[in-house]
Structure 1
Amino acid sequence: MESVRARGGKADSAEDRPVWRNRPFLWLLSGFTSSIFGDSFNGIALSLWVLQTTGSAQRMASVQICTMAVAFLFASFAGTLADRMDRRKLMLLSDWARCVIAILLGLSLFVMDAPFPVMLVLVSLSTFAGLVQGPSFQAATTQIVGPGRIQQASSTIYLFDNAARISGLALAGVVVSAFGGLAAILVTSAAYLLSSVCTLSAGRFPSPMLSTAGKEKRSFLQDWRSGISHIRGHSLIRSIVLLSPLLTVFFLTAIMLVQVIAVGEWKAGPVEFGLIEMCIPLGYMTGASLIITFGHRFGRRGHLVFFGLLLLGPIYWLISGLGSPRLAIPFVLLGGLLFSFCSMITQVILKLEVKDEWQGRVYGTMGAISSVAPSLGLAAASMLADRWGAATVLAAMSMGLLVLAIAAAIVLKPIRNYR
């Protein structure tokens, strides 16, 4: 199969053409989209099985805790692996392992009526197998498109990611309802298999091992420690690794509180609640589309990050005081758009500034932090909302975000001054 190097000699030759004409990138993007689609089916089928079989919220929470713990404990090590091995092989092994585990899950739960602990073990193994996928994919696509196309590629990935999640969640419910949980799990397995076919079709792409040829070999733990030290010692990377999870925590928590307010205080009907839910990913996708179209004209990207961050707090404070779901819809859409701007631009900066041989470890470490931070934020906000009301908590949190945004704009100079 023709390799990236054979076609262009160097990965950065891809800068001469837009990403939608870059065949290796499109194949990897297709595989990534298929994998996300499979994750959505998997999540719906397993959640319904746990709730219908056990009826226990604690059992449901234990599944989430297990997956979160696996990601938190091993994601940074998975990132190190992505910097030491052939990323294409890692992605293939991840897809094949999850494909087999999905089949085992389907047979265990829906054919053999296996007990809950068996499901917990298989889900944990699937999570573990999937940890190398993200760092390997992000680092590989950076190499394939070249520095000049990173912004366009990142926005495209973000757009397809959300499209796959929305369509996957919607179709998973239909499949489970019409054909049962086993069918949904088999779709999951097929999606992972299709992802591996797309990765194979992308051909070979540069490996970080090639750039370290002839250098002194280091142990796995030495590479892992050097990755942590690299993040701590690089002010811009450290700033983004700290800011990105905080931004995600706030946004996901704010969305959860808006949903509670919509049902509990605004008495939103199914149509109104559905419109609010639709506005969230629509905001993401609008932001991604704008960056794809006008991103090449953006200057002072660091200023854009903090411009969006400073506006997010006041927007959700305004939402907390509204009395109607219809009034909230445009502001929810705007919130999603601003969040997508902030998060995507920081990801673009990260890809541009982190050298290829460090990208797996940086993304792995961010994945470890991001796996636990949102869950803790959601748990804390839900307890406070039960006590003082969702609108009160959202208003307080929004003002807290404004203060945090002002402090971050002052303290995180490497992001603020980035062009």
Structure 2
Amino acid sequence: MRKITIIGAGQAGLQLGFGLLSKGYHVTLVSNRSAEEIARGRVMSSQSMYDMAVGYERDLGLAWWDDSCPPITGVHMRAGNSEGQTLIDWRSPMAAPGQSVDQRIKMPAWMREFERRGGQLMIEEADLAALERYAEASDLVLVASGKGEIGQLFERDAERSTFDRPMRTISLTYVHGMKPRSDYSALNISINPGIGEYVNFPALTLSGACDIINLECIPGGPMDRWNEVSTPAEHLELAVELIHRFFPWEAPRCGELRLTDDLGTLVGRIPPTVRKPIGALPSGRKVLGMADVLVLNDPITGQGSNNASKCTMLYLDAILAHGERTFDAAWMQQTFERYWDYAQWVARFTNTHLLPPPPQLLKVFGACGCNPELAAKVANAFDDPRSLAPWYYDEAEADRLLETFAQPA
């Protein structure tokens, strides 16, 4: 029986662990926190997931919240100014709903199930010495979570990394009391050019159905005031103030917001980064990174957990196909390149939204307002960003696409 060790008990690490267990592998999962500590802790992300990614969970028998998590059934995108004038306004249902399950619910439940299915769960802070120990005892070590000296094992890929610094200050706020939309639940994206973005969608948290608000603030701009906040109440107060000031069309839904819990807030900055996939330990042994460890995106397009799920299934297929052969550096690089064939389009999609909108996007978004078929095409791209190429990134290709939608049936 082949022995696989996975560092990190998040979306990628646990999902891969379940996949390998189902195929008879001996799997050790290393987490720096117990299930109870995660459940009692602070929110970790916004974790919106769409049909393809949730489908992989269903394939493994892990989609336990389909009936209790409020669905994300469409996309509504608006762009405007602080006076409330909207220049872009379009909406569309998605082909299949998405969902967001608080990781404080999902990960503890999955960790307990992982052990029930025969996996070995180790609670420890994995450092280089631990990685050496696991690498010696395992056929393969994968790093699905890593900071500090472990994160430094994976060199930044300057050619594939578009930015070298955080492009937004990000705040997450989990709330109850948001007024429901009058049509359908949606991924709501509002843009105030040059200032920041408001992203909102329904979710499931410890206290039941809720909404998550993600405010993306351009560093140094008028929304970047999170250094003023020192308590959960102040966090909520500032979030509501910023919504009223910069996204006034969203304010009517936000009149009675209250925090889901005092740990339902998060503030940080993420430098979008692509890293090289192979980490070399002092002994010379190699470990393979995966998911956010290698391709880290800003959450503005909500792709992090989707990437983790999709990376997992690509890695799982590659491991199974490799049989009893050695997991050498060539195999590691090839496996990552298969993932990069997908992840590069997610990175491009996300990075495009961190810059001023190029002319072709203004044309496309403007046309979405009067063309439901085009709007649906953009909305469904959140499930699979590969479908945006090449027209999302090239003005001539966008013009050709718009011509096809303008032709009479």
Same-fold status (TM-score > 0.5) = no
Q: Compare the two structures and name the one with the higher strand fraction.
A: 2
Q: TM-score range by the shorter chain?
A: under 0.3
TM value normalised by structure 1: 0.25
Of structures 1 and 2, the one with the larger relative CO (CA 8 A, separation 6+) is 1
Structure having the higher helix fraction is 1
- Give the TM-score, by structure 2 length: 0.25
